[in-house]
Amino acid sequence: MDNGLTNRTDIYYRKVIRKDNDKVLLDADMIRLLIVIDENKSLYQISEEVDMGNTAFMEALSKLLDQGLIEPVKKDIAVLDKTFLEILRMNLSKAIGPIAEILIEDLTADMQLNPSAIPVNQAAELIAQLALEIPGEENQMQFKKSMLAVLNKIKS
């Protein structure tokens, strides 16, 4: 699923228990979606797990919200500072040269990220996407391995 909302990793929902459950009407898509919703899963993770078309997914999500069966959850997600970005640039530059900076700018824009404050929960995806631009599978793996080691060190 690749629309502007379902590929967001910063939107979360949780189930809500209603007192007037006799007024709730659910269709099959709503039930499938409600089963998968968990406040620890991003909207992107939910959309991948439920595996329904964008239109059906968004309609079911909207109906669940309208009936008060789910609510948005505000998550405080840690961000990586400029140090991470500099290490990322340095490692990518070693692999592909001076085009690395442009590639990082383009990809962070595509992912709707602020380059100076990359959310921790999106860093691995950014690394994986950048690795795809590196020629040679061996070089891709080396880049991923070194950057994930940096990421794990920063997280701990």
- Distance in angstroms (rounded) separating the CA atoms of residues 123 and 117: 10
Amino acid at residue number 109: A
Asked whether residue 67 falls in the same domain as residue 127, the answer is no
With respect to residue 25, please indicate whether it lies within any of the assigned structural domains: yes
With respect to residue 134, please indicate whether it lies within any of the assigned structural domains: yes
- Distance in angstroms (rounded) separating the CA atoms of residues 154 and 123: 11
Asked whether residue 49 falls in the same domain as residue 20, the answer is yes
> What pLDDT, in 10s, does the model give residues 58-83?
999 999 999 999 999 887 778 887 88
Asked whether residue 150 falls in the same domain as residue 116, the answer is yes
> What pLDDT, in 10s, does the model give residues 91-114?
999 999 999 999 999 998 888 888
Angle at 150 between CA 4 and CA 97, to 5 degrees: 75
Asked whether residue 104 falls in the same domain as residue 142, the answer is yes
CB atoms near residue 108 (< 10 Å): 20
Amino acid at residue number 103: L
With respect to residue 144, please indicate whether it lies within any of the assigned structural domains: yes
What is the 8-class DSSP label of residue 134? S
Q: Into how many domains does the chain fold?
A: 2
With respect to residue 19, please indicate whether it lies within any of the assigned structural domains: yes
Two tokens at 98?
């001076």
Asked whether residue 88 falls in the same domain as residue 45, the answer is no
With respect to residue 109, please indicate whether it lies within any of the assigned structural domains: yes
With respect to residue 151, please indicate whether it lies within any of the assigned structural domains: yes
Contacts of 16 (CB under 8 A, 6+ apart): 68, 69, 70, 71
Q: Which domain holds residue 104?
A: 79-155
Asked whether residue 142 falls in the same domain as residue 85, the answer is yes
Identify the bridge partners of residue 13 per DSSP, sorted by sequence position: 72
pTM score, two decimals? 0.58
